[in-house]
Amino acid sequence: MKKIFIKEFMLICLFAIPYCNAAADGPGKYDSWNQAVKAYTYYPNVRVIILKNKNITAIPDTLDLYKLAGLDLKDNQIKALPSNPNLPNLGSLDLTNNRISAIDNLNKIPLLYELKLAGNLIAEFDNIDLPRLKKLYLDDNYITELSGNIHLPNLESLFLKNNSIAKISDNIDLPNLKYLDLRNNHIEYVSPEIFKQFPKLSHIDLNENPLSQENVDDLKAVFPPRSG
């Protein structure tokens, strides 16, 4: 892993973003959209923009930052995703703690591998087609069902803690899922057959759900708890 320090801002360039190459004269931490876009225009090596906790209420409808690899908009008041983003190289998007109610238009960001949407107002988890996505954070939302209308063939980690999920569908296609966090939901029963949908699953957390002891015992029989 390569670490690049820019003034007080540390940009960590992971192997997943090989084209990340920030310049010392182009820091990624800004106070407004206008400032960020101006820096992006004048400093061609800027690859990450951070606009955390800036009272931003909307993302420009036609966002055109085609070289950007990372965008951090955590802790704002954003209600919707842009309708036609031009972000063909974006790999990481952080929208934690905003006011987004629907997951849409993300299919227009083809290289997205990490998406953080925890702490929003999302009620439905469906109609997602992100073939490169590996990590998806949806904790602290209002999702009621884990349904099968998603296309995330390379997803490895799915975080759904503190939602209102009561049902896990039996037709979910997540062939590479390894980590599933479903803590503190409303799940009363999980069929042991669920694990056939996740052939690579190595960790599932169902703590703080109203499961019966009989169901817990059935699940342990097919998915024994890890020692240590």
**What pLDDT, in 10s, does the model give residues 40-69?**
777 777 889 999 999 999 888 777 888 899
CATH domain 133-223 topology: 3.80.10
Q: What is the CATH number of domain 1-122?
A: 3.80.10.10
Residue 150's DSSP bridge partners are 128
| CB proximity list for 139: less than 8 A, separation 6 or greater | 118, 119, 159, 160, 161, 162, 163, 181
- Alpha carbon of 150 to those of 103, 124, 157: distances in Å? 11, 11, 14
Total-model pTM:
0.85
Identical fold between 1-122 and 133-223: yes
List, for residues 173-209, the tens digit of each pLDDT value.
899 999 999 999 999 999 888 888 889 999 999 999 9
Half-sphere exposure of 186 (CA within 13 A, CB side): 10
138-153 pLDDT tens trace: 999 999 998 878 889 9
In 3D space, the residue among 105, 81, 112, 108 whose CA is nearest the CA of residue 95 turns out to be 81
Helices (H) and strands (E) in the chain, counts: 2, 14
CB-CB contact of 82 with 104 (8 Å): no
Task: Write down the domain spans for the chain.
Answer: 1-122, 133-223
